[in-house]
Amino acid sequence: MAFDCDLFVIGGGSGGVRAARIAASDGGARVHLAEESRMGGTCVIRGCVPKKLMVFASSYPGAMEEARAYGWDVTLGGFDWLAFRGKLEAELDRLEAAYRGGLTRAGVTIHDARAVVEDAHTVRLADGQTVTARHILIATGARPFVPAFPGHELALTSNDMFALPALPKRLLVVGGGYIACEFACIMAGLGVEVTQYYRGAQILRGFDDEARGHVAEAMRARGIAIHCGTEVTELAREPGGIRATATTCGDALFDAVLYATGRVPNSAGLGLEALGVQLTRAGAVKVDGYSQTAVPSIYAVGDVTDRLNLTPVAIREGHAFADTVFGGKPTKADHHLVPSAVFTQPELGSVGLTEEEARAQEPIEVYATAFRPMRTQFAGQPEKVLMKLIVSQQSRRVLGCHIVAPEAGEMIQLAAVAIRMGATKDDFDRTVAVHPTMAEELVTLRTPSRKA
C-alpha cells in the first residue's frame, strides 16, 4: 500500500517535534505533524519556559533586599505585571516561530488543526482531510485536572497564570506538587498574599522527606501560609472575591484560586480505544519500551504515556522512537536516574533514590548538612541550604543526591553525571572542593549523619 507519508505526528510539543524533526532530517522520512493549539506544547507555551521566566521576575525583591545588606542604596519600585506579560508573550512567540522553523527546515508538513486517528494508518484532520501514514505517533501531552465540586468552574489552572489581566492581591493555591509549590513561590515573590492548601501530610510528595520538609519551612519563612491535611469543599463568588470553604480551615476570601492538583493525559477523543490501543484507567496510552502500542503502526511518547512526565524525557522518547523506526537503531528511552528540579525559592534538585526508598532497598548511610551559606549569612538572612547524599553501605555507591539551595537545579545537573556514572562516596571524597562555594559540601561530608 502506498501511503501519503511515512510518519504522522499528532501533537507539536517537545516529544512530537523532536520525533518529527529527527525522522525527517536524519531518517529521510516524509513527515506530517498536526497541532491544534500553539507549536511548542506545554513546556514552551504554558509550562517550563514561561514559568521559569516568572521565577526570575519574582526573585528580584529578595535580591534588592540582599543588595541593601551588602551596602547598595537601592529602592524597589512596583512590579508592572502587564509590561512583563507583554515581554513574556513576545518571547513565547519567538520560541514558537523557532519550533516551526526547525520543522519546516527539516521538511515536515505542518497542519494547524486537531487530528484524530481513523484507523491504524489514517489520520483525519478537523477540516475533514485524511492523510495516510505508515506510522502514527501520539504526542498529545497532558492537561491540568480540576476535580468536580461545587464552584470548581471558578478555579484557575496553571494554563491561566501566564495571561492574568492583573495580579490578585490574595491567592489560594490548591495542591502540593511541584507546580503548586512553584506558583506559590512565584506569586509570593511578586507581592501576592499566598495561601496554600494541600490534602496530604507534607508538600512535594515523592521527593525526599527531609528535603521537602526543608522546602516547606523555607516557603513558610517567606510568608506563604501552607495548610496541609485540608481540602476545598466549595468555591463561591461573592462581591469581595471568591469564598473558599475547606475541611479544616473554614471559610476564607481570595481574589483568585489556582488548582494545581495533577494532570491527565490528552488521549480522549482521538479514536484510540476503538482501534485496540490500550489505555490506563487514567487515560494514559500503554506502550512498550520502544514506545509502541498494542497496534503495531501506532506509537506514543511524552506525557500522554504518563511514564515520567518531564520535558527532557519526552524529548529523549521522541528521539529514541525516530532512531528505532527510521534510523535503523532500536533504542529504548532510559528512565533510570533522571534528575529533576523544583523551581521553588529555594530550589530543590534531586537525582536517584530518596532516603526512604533507599532504606527500604538496602542498608545505607546518610550524609547530610544544613547550613547558612556565606552569601546569605553576611546579609543577615536566616535561610539555610541542605546538601544530602544517600550511600550504599555495601557498594559505597551514591544512590541519591538531594539539594535545597539557590540554583539547586544547576548543581544537581552536574551531580547527576557523576551518579549516573556509578560514582562512589570515595570518588566524592577524592574530589577537591571548589572553595568557597555551597556545592563544596558535597565533597567534604566525611561522617554519616545516620545509618539505616
- Point out the residues that are catalytic: 435
Phi-psi label, residue 312: left if phi above 0, alpha if psi -120 to 50, beta otherwise: alpha
Phi-psi label, residue 250: left if phi above 0, alpha if psi -120 to 50, beta otherwise: left
In whole angstroms, what separates CA 45 from the centre of its chain? 13
Which of 402, 404, 308, 392 has the alpha carbon at shortest distance from 358?
392
d(CA 76, CA 54): 17
d(CA 381, CA 438): 16
In whole angstroms, what separates CA 430 from the centre of its chain? 34
> φ, ψ for residue 61 (rounded to 5)?
-60, -40
Asked if 228 and 173 touch (Cβ cutoff 8 Å), the reply is no
Give the DSSP H/E element, type plus range, for residue 81. Answer: helix 81-105
Cβ count near 129 (within 10 Å): 11
Cβ count near 87 (within 10 Å): 11
Which of 211, 166, 197, 183 has the alpha carbon at shortest distance from 51?
183
Q: Any idea what DSSP says for residue 242? A: E
